[in-house]
Amino acid sequence: MKKYLLRVLALTMACALLLTGCAGGKTEAPEDWATTTVSVVVPYSPGGDTDTYCRALFDRVGKILGITFVITNQTGGSGMVASMNVMSQKPDGYTLLFCHTGAALVQEATGMVEFSYTEDFTNVCTVAIDETYALVAVDPNGQYGQYSRGWSDLEGMIEDAKANPGKIRYSTVFGSTTQYVGQMLERDAGVSFDNLDVGSDSASRMTALLGGQVDLMAANFMNVRDYIENGDLVCLGIMAAERVEGIDFPTFVEQGCPNVVTAKKYEIKFPKGVDQLIVDKLAGACKQVTEDQEFIDLLATYYAQPLYRDAAAMNTEDPAEVEMLEAGLAFD
């Protein structure tokens, strides 16, 4: 899998550079930075959580700084294509990456990337956190009930998985949060899944779940809420340490799976070597936005919360999280 992804990355890098290469040629002087257009690369498709939070943030940051931020969605390699693209850009402050730790740090912990998210970029800040990862399955009483294994709760799923080891098909994206929490669930529940990669975006994975290609899927609650409310899916649990306000489903901790906990932190990174004055200027504007009530309210509609961490905190906490993930994923 790793070699395949690296070949894909190598083939796509030439095209990737074209998306943001137009930033070259602008002056690197920090005093001129606030008068020009800046490219923001999102490693995922439009409409998802990362894209939604990014656009909401930079719409407001742009007004504070008087800068036009242009959002580019660049998919591929579970975020690795976009990340390598940004990493290769000139460190002049005109190209940045908006990503989340759920993919980036797991990829680093699993060795799926030959670069480091924690060392090969200039960190700016963290702006939000989402602790709403949910495990869902087809509702046996819904319109897709023919693809259900009859579960209505986590207990039923675990009983089925123990009776049929390796038969329950779990939708995983290797090198992402889904891989990590899937392994934690296998460990805590004493079960084993058939881990299938049916696509890295939520839409492809949802199509596979509703079409009977997989039996289980983990995703942000905002991406599955409507299906649950419509009776198409059943929620087996939320992967948060504590109950999330507005989500009336139990956590895995409550249900006896203490390690099935995850949080996606949404971060901003420049290529390595960007002037600290530019970093500080952007971080200051982002901090203002995380304290803005309109932004807070918008995040709340998706059950997320603002979380501001400066570069110093990221430089300490993210490597520590990678070590924690390495320890968890190494356990078999």
* 134-156: pLDDT as tens digits: 999 999 999 999 999 999 999 99
User: Per-residue pLDDT for 251 more than 70?
Assistant: yes
The answer to whether position 101 is within a domain reads yes
Does the predicted model carry a pTM greater than 0.75?
Answer: yes
Question: Residue 97 has what pLDDT?
Answer: 97
One domain for residues 69 and 185: no
One domain for residues 122 and 156: no
The residue written with tokens 């294994």 in the block is 149
One domain for residues 34 and 108: yes
Residue 68 banded pLDDT, cuts 50, 70, 90: very high
One domain for residues 121 and 202: no
The set of residues, in sequence order, having a beta carbon less than 8 Å from that of 166 and lying 6+ positions away, is 192, 193, 194
Nearest to 29 by CA among 95, 94, 98, 101: 94
User: Per-residue pLDDT for 219 more than 80?
Assistant: yes
Euclidean distance between CA atoms 123 and 48, whole angstroms: 23
* β 233-238/133-138 pair status: antiparallel
Phi, psi at 40, each rounded to 5°:
-110, 120
One domain for residues 137 and 115: no
Residue 114 banded pLDDT, cuts 50, 70, 90: confident
Residue 27 banded pLDDT, cuts 50, 70, 90: very low
The answer to whether position 215 is within a domain reads yes
One domain for residues 80 and 23: yes
One domain for residues 35 and 145: no
- Please say which residue of 204, 238, 272 terminates a domain: 238
Question: Residue 4 has what pLDDT?
Answer: 43
Euclidean distance between CA atoms 126 and 266, whole angstroms: 6
What tokens were used for 217? Answer: 């899927």
Characterise 76 by phi-psi region: left (phi > 0), alpha (psi -120 to 50), beta (else): left
Question: Residue 75 has what pLDDT?
Answer: 83
One domain for residues 170 and 56: no
Q: Measure Cα distances from 304 to 97, 114, 216 in Å.
A: 20, 31, 23
Q: How many residues does the chain have?
A: 332
The rounded percent of the chain whose pLDDT value lies above 70 is 89
| Average pLDDT for the chain | 89
The answer to whether position 280 is within a domain reads yes
When divided into structural domains, the chain yields a total of: 2
User: Per-residue pLDDT for 23 more than 60?
Assistant: no
Question: Which structural domain, as residue segments, surrounds residue 10?
Answer: 2-130+264-330
One domain for residues 150 and 125: no
One domain for residues 103 and 158: no
The set of residues, in sequence order, having a beta carbon less than 8 Å from that of 293 and lying 6+ positions away, is none
Euclidean distance between CA atoms 290 and 7, whole angstroms: 38
Strand partners, 122: 270
Euclidean distance between CA atoms 188 and 252, whole angstroms: 10
Question: Residue 112 has what pLDDT?
Answer: 85
Question: Residue 110 has what pLDDT?
Answer: 86
The residue written with tokens 């390495």 in the block is 326
One domain for residues 88 and 6: yes
User: Per-residue pLDDT for 63 more than 50?
Assistant: yes
The answer to whether position 253 is within a domain reads no
Cα dihedral 303→308→314→316 (10° resolution) = -100
Selected residue with higher pLDDT from 321 and 35: 321
The answer to whether position 47 is within a domain reads yes
- Sheet of strand 121-130: strand arrangement: 69-73, 38-42, 95-100, 264-271, 121-130, 305-310
Question: Residue 332 has what pLDDT?
Answer: 52
Question: Residue 331 has what pLDDT?
Answer: 57
Geometric angle at alpha carbon 307, from 320 and 116, rounded to 5°: 35
